[in-house]
């Protein structure tokens, strides 16, 4: 005859079999986060995410461990890094860019590992989420509404440098962000009466070679697109040096570009997106019900390089000062 204690033990074993989270799979040890840095220019976002998690009370090396992969825009590296996270059963993945987030979403499959993303354009159209308000699959994050605000870069340029009539963009047509970036910029240029010229230059060396072969600039300003090639250091430095020698304003793609010699940038605060993502990740990790969390949208900010404006002989209006922040003045 089975005693009461034996019966209880068997009941507990049976319960464990159907509720692993309460028994065999109960969380022990530090929280492990996989971080996918899609391109190096968004390092500020992953750094801010890690700092944001620490501000939530985690202690790096003790209660939280970060495994960061820098893919340098390489799709294979993104896929391999995401698969490593899933194989290692991290507790959560933080991914940046459409490419990095898409690779992680694919790798996650039905593993149940939650993902928080940042710097992702049109996440529904990109297949990263199926709803903005109630995304399924333990995936949510911070949306970059680039296509909704990028046209304003052209408007700001006309206010800062009214003499500019021709703008050049070194573009990579196949790069995932181009379809979100270029059409609204083209529409804004037409509306404001500017001539917009794009040149297909898919590698840093192609950009360097083009500039070397074009001593007389057939344009009055340069706009840095959200593509990999022009944001690599060697290509970006070549663009800045070329522009400086000819007194051409350069419109940056991030606040980081201000330190490197651009006239202005109008872009979401990458660091703030990382901090918001950290707060979302903390809530998800602590919420056993894993209810759908809505996707949020990052807000663009204007940064103007006062030193570059002075070198170019450009005045910064009171309206622009009120709208944005003037740096290095």
Could you give the CA distance from residue 46 to residue 56 in angstroms, rounded to a whole number? 15
For residues 281 and 217, membership in a common domain is answered with: no
For residues 282 and 221, membership in a common domain is answered with: no
Is pLDDT above 60 for 2?
Answer: no
Predicted pLDDT at 41 = 82
Indicate the average pLDDT of the chain: 91
Closest CA to 42 of 98, 96, 79: 96
Res. 68 pLDDT band, cuts 50 70 90: very high
Q: Is residue 117 part of a domain?
A: yes
Is pLDDT above 80 for 303?
Answer: yes
For residues 99 and 181, membership in a common domain is answered with: no
Whole-model pTM: value is 0.82
Question: Percentage of the chain surpassing pLDDT 70?
Answer: 92
Q: Is residue 23 part of a domain?
A: no
CATH number of the domain bearing residue 68:
3.40.50.2300
Is pLDDT above 90 for 137?
Answer: no
Chain mean position to CA 16: 41
Could you give the CA distance from residue 113 to residue 110 in angstroms, rounded to a whole number? 8
For residues 79 and 183, membership in a common domain is answered with: no
For residues 167 and 289, membership in a common domain is answered with: no
For residues 88 and 62, membership in a common domain is answered with: yes
Predicted pLDDT at 177 = 86
For residues 176 and 306, membership in a common domain is answered with: yes
For residues 119 and 183, membership in a common domain is answered with: no
Pair 224, 250: CB distance under 8 Å: yes
150 CB-near residues (< 8 Å, 6+ apart): 180, 181, 184, 185, 266
Predicted pLDDT at 26 = 53
Structure tokens at 63: 């209660």
Q: Which residue has the higher pLDDT, 166 or 41?
A: 166
- pLDDT, tens digit, for every residue of 223-238? 999 988 998 899 999 9
For residues 196 and 317, membership in a common domain is answered with: yes
Pair 16, 23: CB distance under 8 Å: yes
Q: Is residue 104 part of a domain?
A: yes
Q: Which domain holds residue 104?
A: 28-144+270-299
For residues 47 and 133, membership in a common domain is answered with: yes
With helix as H, strand as E and coil as C, how does the chain read? CCCHHHHHHHHHHHHHHHCHHHCCCCCCCCEEEEEEECCHHHHHHHHHHHHHHHHCCCCECCCEEEEEEECCCCHHHHHHHHHHHHHCCCCEEEEECHHHHHHHHHHHCCCCCCEEEEEECCCCCCCCCCCCCCCCCCEEEEECCHHHHCCHHHHHHHHHCCCCCEEEEEECCCCCCHHHHHHHHHHHHHHHCCEEEEEECCCHHHHHHHHHCCCCCCCCEEECCCCHHHHCHHHHHHHHHHHHHCCCCEEECCCHHHHCCCCEEEEECHHHHHHHHHHHHHHHHHCCCCCCCCCEECCEEEEEEHHHHHHCCCCCCHHHHHHCEEECC
Burial degree of 191 (CB within 10 A; 0-12, 13-18, 19+): exposed
For residues 73 and 171, membership in a common domain is answered with: no
């Amino acid at each position: 005859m089975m005693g009461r204690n034996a019966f209880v033990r068997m009941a507990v074993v049976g319960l464990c079999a159907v509720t692993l989270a309460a028994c065999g799979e109960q969380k022990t040890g530090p929280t492990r986060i996989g971080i996918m840095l899609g391109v190096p220019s968004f390092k500020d976002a992953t750094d801010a995410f890690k700092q944001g998690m620490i501000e939530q009370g985690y202690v790096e090396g003790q209660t939280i461990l970060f495994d960061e992969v820098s893919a340098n825009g390489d799709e294979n590296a993104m896929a391999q890094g995401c698969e490593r996270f899933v194989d290692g059963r991290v507790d959560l993945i933080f991914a940046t860019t459409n490419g990095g987030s898409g690779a992680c979403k694919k790798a996650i499959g039905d593993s149940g590992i939650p993902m928080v993303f940042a710097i992702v354009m049109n996440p529904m159209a990109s297949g990263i989420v199926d709803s903005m308000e109630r995304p399924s699959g333990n995936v949510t994050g911070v949306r970059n509404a680039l296509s909704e605000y990028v046209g304003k870069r052209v408007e700001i340029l006309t206010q800062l440098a009214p003499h500019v009539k021709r703008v050049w963009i070194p573009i990579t047509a196949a790069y995932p962000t181009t379809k979100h970036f270029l059409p609204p910029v083209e529409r804004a240029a037409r509306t404001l009466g500017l001539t917009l010229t794009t040149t297909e230059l898919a590698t840093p060396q192609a950009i360097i070679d083009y500039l070397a072969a074009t001593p007389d600039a057939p344009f009055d300003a340069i706009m840095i697109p959200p593509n990999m090639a022009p944001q690599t250091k060697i290509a970006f430095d070549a663009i800045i040096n070329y522009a400086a020698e000819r007194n051409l304003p350069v419109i940056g793609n991030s606040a980081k570009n201000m330190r490197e010699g651009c006239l202005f940038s109008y872009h979401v605060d990458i660091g703030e997106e990382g901090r918001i993502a950290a707060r979302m990740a903390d809530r998800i990790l602590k919420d056993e019900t894993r209810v759908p969390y809505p996707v949020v949208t990052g807000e663009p900010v204007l940064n103007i390089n006062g030193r570059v404006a002075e070198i170019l002989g450009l005045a910064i209006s009171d309206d622009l000062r009120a709208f944005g922040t003037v740096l290095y003045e």
